[in-house]
Structure 1
Amino acid sequence: MISIVIPAYNEEKRIERSLIALTNQTIPRDRYELIVVDGGSKDKTRDIAEKYADQVFIQESSRVAGARNDGFLRAQYDLVATTDADSIVAPNWVEEAIGAFSNPDVVLSFGPVIPIEKTETDRRYALLFNGLIRLGAHSRLYYYTLGCNTAFRKAALLRAGMYRIMDAGDDLEIAVRMRKEGAVKFAPDMKVGFDFRRYHEFGFWKTIYEWYYIVLQGGISDKYSYTRRDYGIDPAIPGDGKKT
């Protein structure tokens, strides 16, 4: 059994394809739950999510990392995983995520990304991402555990303190603490389709530069707009923090 947490913010154009992929898996739907944590969307994201997810609620903590943490705290199963509302998981993703924990020493598993849009540019981006992922996994110098494709043993995740609330680098920083709780496993067949549209919008190398700048500043910075700065709870929304 596994709980899957999906942060979402104004994703009405893409979240349905993500949730359809998550409901059409190689294992029975009753072996996993879907939890959508909404950052105060102004569109139909929550309405669409309610058609597919077991839980849909507005986040109580700030930023994307906080949304993931809120979902983990409401998860009912001993294994938890996270992906993004604009990503498309492979048909066997849930099965591979569960299987990665067959070794009781494993506390975190993660996998590679594939481009959703099969353009030459996006293929190059994916090669770069996967090169960094595999280099870290094989060298064990670091673990490039992207938030769109990571799973945890929940008890170990809670002991480690879950995600740090940051503008950038939270999905890598968590691996530093998780490896103190047990083994970290790279699962090559645990694949997720990644949407590179933000890299096109901001410019790939500019985005990479901003990301590294923010990470070197400790993960928090007001200088750049790498992240969606308005992502998070909105006190003006009735019932904020409650299931909608």
Structure 2
Amino acid sequence: MISVIVPTYNEEESIASCLESLCNQTIPRGAYEIIVVDGNSKDRTREIAAKYADQVFVQTSKKVGGARNDGAVAAKGEIVATTDADCYLPPDWLEGIERTFADHPDAVQVYGLVFPKEKGIKNTVSLWLANFFSRLGYLTHTIYYTLGCNTAFRRDAFMAIGMYHTIDAGDDLEIARRARKAGKVVLVPALKVGFSMRRYEQFGTLKSLWEWVYIVVKGGESEKYSYSKREYK
């Protein structure tokens, strides 16, 4: 079984479409479970999520990484996949994850690329560049640019390496470094997820990237910028 973990916070506008895409996968619905871990939303996120998910509960650990960890603890599956509440998951997403782990018995982590949900040349170019650096880092064995919206782990290995560190940004890069010590980390270019560009459209691409880099350089923690629990229009 695959356990899909979706962290949420005030996502009533996005969560239904995300979970609908998860419920329409090419593998049987009984072959996977959906776990929504909520950051104590003030809107109808949990109410809406309950219509689709197998488990919906309020997180007890801190930050987005902590929500994913809480979900993994509650998971029943041998594989734990993570995505975000504003993403679109193509119908063959879980099938691709399942097949990759079967083809790579030594893999402990699998990840893919992203494409923009919102139209526009700026969004297309931005994610083309992100995917380019992801491929480059993988091929050169330097930075494994895994994304929390499109990654999966063997659950036993995920628990053994200590799960996600609960930091503000860069936790998906950091965990890949530890995962590589436990086994193989595999990039699958065909494993793509629809990624929402709303952060960049509302707060600006350069500003958002600068905040992310600043926090990562500071070790994942920063009092100057907050990268999680953003309010979107």
Please give the range of the TM-score, normalised by the shorter of the 2 chains: over 0.9
Offset of residue 36 of structure 1? 0.2
Offset of residue 189 of structure 1? 1.7
Aligned counterparts of 1:186 and 1:100: Cα–Cα separation in 2:
10
- What residue number does 2:38 align with? 38
Q: Residue 86 in 1 paired to residue 89 in 2?
A: no
Aligned counterparts of 2:226 and 2:2: Cα–Cα separation in 1:
34
- What residue number does 1:105 align with? 106
Offset of residue 133 of structure 1? 1.2
Code of the residue aligned with 1:19 in structure 2: it is L
Aligned counterparts of 1:89 and 1:22: Cα–Cα separation in 2:
6
Offset of residue 99 of structure 1? 1.1
- What residue number does 1:72 align with? 72
Code of the residue aligned with 2:170 in structure 1: it is G
Aligned counterparts of 1:137 and 1:11: Cα–Cα separation in 2:
32
Offset of residue 227 of structure 1? 2.7
Aligned counterparts of 2:62 and 2:163: Cα–Cα separation in 1:
14
Q: Residue 49 in 1 paired to residue 63 in 2?
A: no
- What residue number does 2:21 align with? 21
1:179 alignment partner, SS class: helix
Offset of residue 229 of structure 1? 6.8
Q: Residue 187 in 1 paired to residue 208 in 2?
A: no
TM-score normalised by L of structure 2:
0.96
Q: For 1:1-244, what aligned pairs fall within 5 Å after superposition?
A: 1-102=1-102, 103-228=104-229
Structure 2: runs of 5 or more not aligned:
none
Aligned counterparts of 1:146 and 1:65: Cα–Cα separation in 2:
12
Offset of residue 83 of structure 1? 0.1
Which runs of at least 4 in structure 1 moved beyond 3 Å after TM superposition?
A: none
Tell me how large the CA RMSD over aligned residues is: 1.1
Offset of residue 226 of structure 1? 2.8
Name which of structure 1's ranges 79-88 and 120-129 shifts more when overlaid on structure 2: 120-129
1:36 alignment partner, SS class: strand
2:191 alignment partner, SS class: coil
1:69 alignment partner, SS class: helix
- What residue number does 1:238 align with? none
Code of the residue aligned with 2:227 in structure 1: it is Y
1:90 alignment partner, SS class: coil
Offset of residue 119 of structure 1? 1.1
Q: Which structure's relative contact order is higher, taking Cα pairs within 8 Å and 6+ residues apart?
A: 1
Aligned counterparts of 1:229 and 1:43: Cα–Cα separation in 2:
14
Equivalences, count = 230
Aligned counterparts of 1:121 and 1:17: Cα–Cα separation in 2:
24
